[in-house]
Amino acid sequence: MNSYDYVLEKRLNELDKNLSKIFTNIVFSMQFILSRYKVIFPYFTDHTIVHSLNVIEFCNKIIGEDVKKLNADEIFILLFGCYLHDSGMGISLDDYIEFSKKLELTNCFDNKRKSDVFSIVRNYHHEYSGQFVEKYGDFFEISTEKHKFAIKQVCRGHRKVNLEDENEFPSEYKLDNGNIVRLPYLAAIIRLADEIDVTANRNSLIEFDYTTLENEIDLLEFMKHDAVKDLIITDDAFIMKAKTDDQKVIKALDLVKNKMQKTLDECRKVVNGKAPFEIRQAKILIEYID
Query: Contact at 8 Å (CB) between 156 and 127?
Result: yes
Q: Where do the DSSP E strands lie in the chain?
A: 173-174, 180-181, 228-233, 237-242, 283-288
**Dist CA 21 CA 60 (whole Å):** 20
For residue 214, CA distances in Å to 188, 235, 289 come to: 36, 41, 29
**Dist CA 13 CA 224 (whole Å):** 38
**Dist CA 87 CA 49 (whole Å):** 10
pLDDT band at 114 (very low <50, low <70, confident <90, very high): low
Beta bridge partners of 287: 241
Beta bridge partners of 173: 181
The whole-number pLDDT of residue 120 equals 86
pLDDT, mean of residues 223-228: 88
120 vs 245, more confident: 245
Other Cβ atoms within 10 Å of 237 Cβ, number: 14
Backbone angles phi, psi at 143, to 5 degrees: -55, -55
pLDDT band at 157 (very low <50, low <70, confident <90, very high): very high
Query: Contact at 8 Å (CB) between 46 and 90?
Result: no
**Dist CA 3 CA 84 (whole Å):** 21
Averaged confidence pLDDT in the chain = 88
The pLDDT tens digits for 48-105 are: 667 888 999 999 999 999 999 999 999 999 999 999 999 988 888 889 989 999 999 8
For residue 42, CA distances in Å to 37, 162, 251, 252 come to: 7, 30, 25, 22
| pLDDT over 90 at 221, yes or no | no
**Dist CA 102 CA 24 (whole Å):** 30
The whole-number pLDDT of residue 234 equals 96
Share of the chain above pLDDT 70, in %: 86
Residues counted in the chain: 290
Helix (H, G, I), strand (E, B) or coil at 166: coil
**Dist CA 270 CA 273 (whole Å):** 5
